[in-house]
Amino acid sequence: MVAVSGDESDGARTNGWDNPDFVDRTEAVVRLGSMLLSAGTGAYRVKHAMARAAMALGMDRHDAAVSLTEIITTTHMGDNFRTVVREVPRVAVDARRIEALETLSRNMPNGCDAFFLESRLDHISRHVKSIWPAWLNVLSAGMACAAFAVLNRFSIEEALVVLIASASGQAVRRTLARREANQFGVAAIAGAVSSLVYLIVSVLCRAQPWLPLHNVDGTGYVAAILFLVPGFPMMTAVLDIARLDFGAGLPRAFYAMAIVLSAGAGAWAICLVFGLEPLPPGYQITGVWWWIAIAVSTFIGICGFAVMFNSTPAMIWRAALAGTLANLTRFALSAAGVPDAAGSFIGGLITGLLAFAFANHNTLPRITLSVPGSVIMVPGAAMYRTLYWFNASNTTQAITFGMDALIGVLALASGLAAARMCTDPGWTIMRWRPSPHAFRTEEGSTLIG
């Protein structure tokens, strides 16, 4: 952390440390922002939460620049100002903590002091932790990927093997994450473990004809690594860019891309050794059963991802309901011949609008509903197939899957952004605040050098 302070009045600048109360207030505000950023919310929410807290603490003005892992803030109070740079070392997602911090920033009484904010941040830091046990988190990853497998038209038998493989990968990822290992290395190892477990289980099943899973082949491993798709950074990146906050959006986008590349590299290594290919599945469910499978799989998948994001039960059922309705609409549009990109956009739009409706009369932050509800529509399988075919020197297939993945993500996130613009005036009309120290002259006056 780096801090710079000063006095903007005429004459010499002071050392900036002669007002301990001002220093304490700025530190409390920056701590709030860094905790929100480390919980995975977008830069827009971090800035607004810090600005609300600064106003409640009696600051005249608060400006912030937020990136993926860094916050730079300048706070003004009277003639004093203070600039602080704070680094957030790790990128994570914790929907419950986002809710607690957002609620705190919205309900701070005017005129409170730094101790008020610090004490409540201490309480959140100590008590707002994971509400789901480790075994349920691991099982949820497996359920989410199994649901992804069904939506990608893999058979029920393959989905069960995917559940085992992805749960194994999530267990490895949690173990390494607790040891604070490099996140890209963790993604690569978890992807390799999931692919290897899928291969081992499928081989064992085929070796026993009497088992119900003896028809499982090796193509479904691509669904077993979908729990590594960084849905929160991927969606918030586009939302930040939609607000012209490129300093926050681009690093998030590159981070999400690096995680996908790392996970794909780990899975590709297993493919290279054992000859697996992520071929499109041939299993088909028809008629009303397919629509039932879409609804059930989408609901289960969203619940699984929401548990991984440490969402509360209130968040989970709302996000699952919104995402299920949106995904059913997306599949219906695809069946009617609507281009997939348009269907993804409408799916994201519906998710965002329903998230607004569900969050409008309670304390739930909208992002904790819209992002989990839309992650199930991310074309994760196409992303990993892109990496495989590039490594297999099949450029045509790689470009085909790559464009499908890119357009799908952009369309989905654009739908979320459009929903936000339709329901939030702060997104529709962006007003920039002028500098409080801008030099202004009367109309018609002349400056004399």
Other beta carbons less than 10 A from residue 42's beta carbon: 27
Question: Confidence class of residue 319 from pLDDT cuts 50, 70 and 90?
Answer: very high
pTM recorded for the entire structure? 0.86
Kindly state the average pLDDT of the residues 414-441: 74
pLDDT of residue 12: 38
Q: Which of 204-213, 356-365, 379-388 has the lowest mean pLDDT?
A: 204-213
CB-based contacts of 24: which residues, under 8 Å, 6+ apart? Answer: 113, 114, 115, 118
CB-based contacts of 428: which residues, under 8 Å, 6+ apart? Answer: 421, 422
pLDDT of residue 109: 87
71, β-bridge pairs? 66, 86
Question: Confidence class of residue 111 from pLDDT cuts 50, 70 and 90?
Answer: confident
Question: Confidence class of residue 13 from pLDDT cuts 50, 70 and 90?
Answer: very low
SS3 per-residue string spanning the chain: CEEEEEECCCCCCCCCCCCHHHHHHHHHHHHHHHHHHHCCCCHHHHHHHHHHHHHHCCCCEEEEEECCCEEEEEEEECCEEEEEEEECCCCCCCHHHHHHHHHHHHCCCCCCCHHHHHHHHHHHHHHCCCCCCHHHHHHHHHHHHHHHHHHCCCCHHHHHHHHHHHHHHHHHHHHHHHCCCCHHHHHHHHHHHHHHHHHHHHHHHHCCCCCCCCCCCCCCHHHHCHHHCCHHHHHHHHHHHHCCCHHHHHHHHHHHHHHHHHHHHHHHHHHHHHCCCCCCCCCCCCCHHHHHHHHHHHHHHHHHHHHHCCCCHHHHHHHHHHHHHHHHHHHHHHHCCCCHHHHHHHHHHHHHHHHHHHHCCCCCCCHHHHHHHHHCCCCHHHHHHHHHHHHCCCHHHHHHHHHHHHHHHHHHHHHHHHHHHHHCHHHHCCCCCCCCCCCCCCCCCCCCC
Q: Is there a contact between 92 and 259 (Cβ–Cβ < 8 Å)?
A: no
Q: Is there a contact between 71 and 30 (Cβ–Cβ < 8 Å)?
A: yes
**Of 119-133, 192-206, 213-227, which one has max mean pLDDT?**
119-133
pLDDT in tens, 16-48: 455 678 888 899 999 999 999 998 888 888 998
Beta strands 80-87 and 70-77: pairing type?
antiparallel
CB-based contacts of 154: which residues, under 8 Å, 6+ apart? Answer: 162, 219, 220, 223, 281, 283
Percent of the chain with pLDDT over 70: 87
Kindly state the average pLDDT of the residues 417-423: 89
pLDDT in tens, 65-96: 899 889 999 888 877 888 899 998 888 889 99
Q: Could you give the CA distance from residue 95 to residue 231 in angstroms, rounded to a whole number?
A: 13
Q: What are phi and psi of 448, to 5 degrees?
A: -110, 120
Question: Confidence class of residue 9 from pLDDT cuts 50, 70 and 90?
Answer: very low
Average pLDDT, the chain: 84
Domain boundaries, the chain: 2-108, 134-421
pLDDT of residue 123: 92
Q: Is the pLDDT of residue 14 over 50?
A: no
Q: Could you give the CA distance from residue 176 to residue 172 in angstroms, rounded to a whole number?
A: 6
